[in-house]
Structure 1
Amino acid sequence: EHYGCMVDLYGRSGKLQKAYNFICQMPIPPTAIVWRTLLGACSSHGNIELAEQVKQRLNELDPNNSGDLVLLSNVYATAGKWKDVASIRKSMIVQRIKKITAWSLVEVGKTMYKFTAGEKKKGTDIEAHEKLKEIILRLRDETGYAPEVASALYDVEEEEKEDQVSKHSEKLALAFALARLP
């Protein structure tokens, strides 16, 4: 566990090569979780070359992990490498690798509410989306906030890209909890 924490610390601070070297010098074989932590940092910092190296290491340990493929796809999308994004998506379809749908739980009062990314089917989802839209507009007006849309699909309008990235389950759960504050 502590090795993963060190990789995470290096990764969060942008010291990706140090993280990679740290993993390579570990006295025990690195687990997929350790490599995955570095892949996530590569995604956050847009390091394509290292992300590809890390994905190769992950292929040896867990070749069909949908999360790893999505992270690598996000690295490519952020860099505007849409052919590589399409290639990953195609290979996932061919290999029948399904992306696991993200969800988040939030407790309001004594009730647990579950939110799924992008879902808008019932009253709580609609309430969460409305509150999230209100928060984003307020942040935009008061601070100049603009959602990071680089990894959104390239063939859609800018407004739709913002809509895509604002539907994460964590954001919806938090917005719902804020909407229900007394």
Structure 2
Amino acid sequence: MGAELPGAVVASAVLVAVRVAASGFPGRAAVGAAVTTVGSGLRWALALFLVPALAVRYGVNFGSPLLAAAGGGCVVLVAAVRALREGLGARRSGSPTQLFMVAGQLGFAAVAGLAAAYGAVHRVTDTYYEASLLRAVSIFLITAIVVCAATNEGLRIIPTTAAPRERP
């Protein structure tokens, strides 16, 4: 655990800091459509990936890496389509300009997340490729969510109709 301890300590500190910061916003409004879409995409990707997870994992080493990549790509594609339907579906009553702004917001978040993930993968060499993939996905999601939240505030995009969650 020696090599992993600093990362675990930093992750724990970030979680505590976020929880403390979140308590300072008791009357916060609902999140925007972009953050809702990213959250929906994460839920769909996790649910869909449980089915082919072992085939994708071991296909890289023992089978066909191209087939394993295609399987993983299919999971991501289906999750993205479902997330866009759910995230933007709540905004069907919005104007085309608003939908265009949300689509641009999601595109900008995706590009920023990919750039951050690329940097995270190429900065550290891991023994197992899964460790670098986990780092890349984590950095991608964190960056995309932060960009969506920041641009939602900056663009004054109307939030979704979802009610804010109550804090325990």
TM-score by length of 1: 0.26
Higher helix share: 2
Q: Which has the higher contact order (CA 8 A, sep 6+)?
A: 2
TM-score by length of 2: 0.27
Higher strand share: 1
